[in-house]
Amino acid sequence: IQAVPISAVRAGFDMCFVYGNPRVVSNVALSCALRAIRFPVVIWGQAHTAGSSPASERLRLAWWRCFSYLFVYTDDEVVYLREHGFSRKLLVGMNNGLNQQELEVCAAQFPPQRLAEWRRERDLENRMVLLSCARLIPKNRFDLVIDALPELLKIEPSLVWCVLGDGSERERLKRHAQRRGVSHAIRWQGALYDEKALAPWFLSSVALVHPGAVGLTLLHAFGYGLPVVTHDDRQQQMPEIAALKDGHNGLLFRSGDVRSLVENLVKLMREPQLRAALSEAARHTARKEFNTEVMANRFSEMAQAVWARMRKDRDV
């Protein structure tokens, strides 16, 4: 908890955006103190989070109901809140995303000839690559990909699953892969953070597979035109799942169902025209709907809407 000089906020700003996680107690105190003096407060945050308990969500939304202005992660979350008693609030979705221009600059550094050379150096030439890029922790359910690999390899022996990330599950997953006899088809690359180093992995893959709750990794893949395969239980997904439209820019499999995961991946592997269509749509989604430029515009839209309502209230 940190002290915030309310008088300084009131004197120096027109409104205050407050992170809407009640675990940050100082933010709860700040927002309530500002509300008490009728200073405009915009609560921003996730309306629904995968894995959160119903009790914690009720607590968070009960706090949010005290305020008139809410800035949430996606347009889908705006719909969610309207369905949960927030229809009279001013709601704007930011459509959370990444810096698409940066991704495209990195992608441009790997034209076809250079990318082919990069693939040869890593023995990926003539290999079909599935990619995962996330921490190796239980909630990401990478054991499902290992369980799917025996069937996938029967259909496409050249398949290799490349895993960018590290975490507490690494050794357990490696042992599981050994038991399933698929270690030869997995590359455990470890954690990578430099975008220039990440770019050729995304550009060399046919899909990003994420069996657990997927967040910004989804938009990271879309930024390179890489379709995403993830599970279909949207209540157990992160807000960024709003960007994925099944059959348009990615594919959804039945949550926890290895057979369904296999069927969706096989569909991608066998249908190059489908891959191309999904890829084009994925890139379009990142360029036009979910990125930092859109976020900045939505932030401005939120602030202008609050300002307009403030002026209207003063004129009444």
Alpha-carbon dihedral 32, 36, 37, 40, rounded to 10 degrees: 50
Amino acid identity of residue 201, one-letter, is: W
Q: Is 252 a member of any domain?
A: yes
Q: Above 50 in pLDDT, residue 36?
A: yes
- Percent of the chain exceeding pLDDT 90 equals 90
Q: Is 225 a member of any domain?
A: yes
Average pLDDT over residues 247-267: 98
In terms of Cα–Cα distance, which of 46, 45, 37, 29 is closest to 13? 37
Clarify whether residues 33 and 143 are in a common domain: no
Q: Is 256 a member of any domain?
A: yes
Clarify whether residues 167 and 38 are in a common domain: no
At residue 312, the pLDDT reads: 80
Q: Is 1 a member of any domain?
A: no
Clarify whether residues 230 and 254 are in a common domain: yes
At residue 52, the pLDDT reads: 79
At residue 54, the pLDDT reads: 87
In terms of Cα–Cα distance, which of 22, 25, 66, 17 is closest to 43? 17
Clarify whether residues 35 and 178 are in a common domain: no
User: Across all residues in the chain, what is the average pLDDT?
Assistant: 95
Q: Is the model more confident about 309 or about 160?
A: 160
Three-state secondary structure string covering 225-253: CCCEEEECCHHHCCHHHHHCCECCCEEEE
DSSP 255-284: TT-HHHHHHHHHHHHH-HHHHHHHHHHHHH
CATH of the domain at 206: 3.40.50.2000
At residue 223, the pLDDT reads: 98
Clarify whether residues 150 and 299 are in a common domain: no
The encoded tokens of residue 159 equal 């398949």
At residue 256, the pLDDT reads: 96
Q: Is 67 a member of any domain?
A: yes
Clarify whether residues 306 and 277 are in a common domain: no
For the ranges 42-51, 175-184, 203-212, 262-271, which has the lowest average pLDDT? 42-51
For the ranges 5-14, 39-48, 192-201, 228-237, which has the lowest average pLDDT? 5-14
Residue 180 belongs to what domain range?
100-288
The encoded tokens of residue 224 equal 């390179």
Q: Would you say 207 and 226 are in contact if contact means Cβ atoms under 8 Å apart? A: yes
d(CA 14, CA 39): 8
Q: Would you say 183 and 149 are in contact if contact means Cβ atoms under 8 Å apart? A: no
Q: Above 60 in pLDDT, residue 2?
A: no
Q: Which helix (H) or strand (E) holds 223?
A: helix 216-223
Clarify whether residues 304 and 278 are in a common domain: no
291: which DSSP letter? B
pLDDT (tens digit, 9 = 90+) per residue, 159-189?
A: 999 999 999 999 999 999 999 999 999 999 9
At residue 1, the pLDDT reads: 44
- Percent of the chain exceeding pLDDT 70 equals 98
Clarify whether residues 30 and 47 are in a common domain: yes
At residue 4, the pLDDT reads: 63
Q: Alpha-carbon Rg of the chain, whole angstroms?
A: 22
At residue 313, the pLDDT reads: 74
Q: Is 45 a member of any domain?
A: yes
Clarify whether residues 59 and 190 are in a common domain: no
Q: Is the model more confident about 42 or about 310?
A: 42
At residue 7, the pLDDT reads: 83
d(CA 304, CA 298): 10
The encoded tokens of residue 291 equal 């990125």
Number of domains in the chain: 2
C-alpha distances (whole Å) from 95 to each of 10, 77, 214, 283, 288 are 29, 9, 15, 15, 10
Clarify whether residues 122 and 177 are in a common domain: yes
Clarify whether residues 304 and 231 are in a common domain: no
For the ranges 27-31, 42-46, 178-182, which has the lowest average pLDDT? 27-31
Q: Is 243 a member of any domain?
A: yes
Clarify whether residues 78 and 155 are in a common domain: no
Q: Above 90 in pLDDT, residue 275?
A: yes
Q: Is 179 a member of any domain?
A: yes
At residue 311, the pLDDT reads: 85
At residue 315, the pLDDT reads: 64
At residue 299, the pLDDT reads: 97
